[in-house]
Structure 1
């Protein structure tokens, strides 16, 4: 294998690894966000776990974080929880850092 081919293979492997890690970090963040929101919704135990999983699944609706935000916001609004867009997005940012630390430690 030529040096060029080895370099190309290494770059492809790194891209695949970085993409997979990014996906896992986002999924972990969404699960943590779901747990946070479940607490605000008064959910506990299996109901809280199921809700957190529903937040992870909501991320598959479209690219980006807006689908996750909309689901959490709609669920909190429906339950009468007074949580602003800023609070939810700030929590999303903080939990992304937590998820990144958990998966790269």
Structure 2
């Protein structure tokens, strides 16, 4: 194997690992976001867990984070939960950092 092929294989391996980490972190972030939102909505126990799963599933509707944001925004609006768009998006960013840290500690 040439040096070029070795470097190419290493790059492809790193890319695959990074994509797997991104996928896991996004799913974990969405669950954490769902649990955060569930608390704001007054849910607890099984109801909170079910809601968190619904938030995770909402991410499969389209690429990016907007589908998740829209679900939480709509649920807050429907239930008169006072959170600004900025607060929701900031929480999404903070929870992404938390999710990445948790996953890296598991590896």
**TM-score range for the pair, normalised by the shorter chain length:** over 0.9
What's the offset of the Cα at 1:5?
1.7
1:95 alignment partner, SS class = helix
Q: Specify the alignment match of 2:79 in structure 1.
A: 79
**Would you say how many aligned residue pairs link Structure 1 and Structure 2?**
105
User: Which consecutive residues of structure 2, in runs of 5 or more, have no partner in the other structure?
Assistant: none
State the Cα RMSD in Å. Answer: 0.9
CA distance in 2, matches of 1:7, 1:92: 35
Q: TM-score, normalised by structure 1?
A: 0.94
* Residues 43-74 of structure 1 deviation map (CA, whole Å, 9 limit, x = unaligned): 11111111101111111111111110000000
- Give the ranges of 4+ consecutive aligned residues of structure 1 lying more than 6 Å apart after TM superposition: none
Could you tell me the TM-score, scaled by structure 2's length?
0.93
Which blocks of at least 5 consecutive residues in structure 1 are unaligned?
A: none
Q: Hey, what's the Cα distance between the residues in 2 that align with 1:97 and 1:17? A: 17
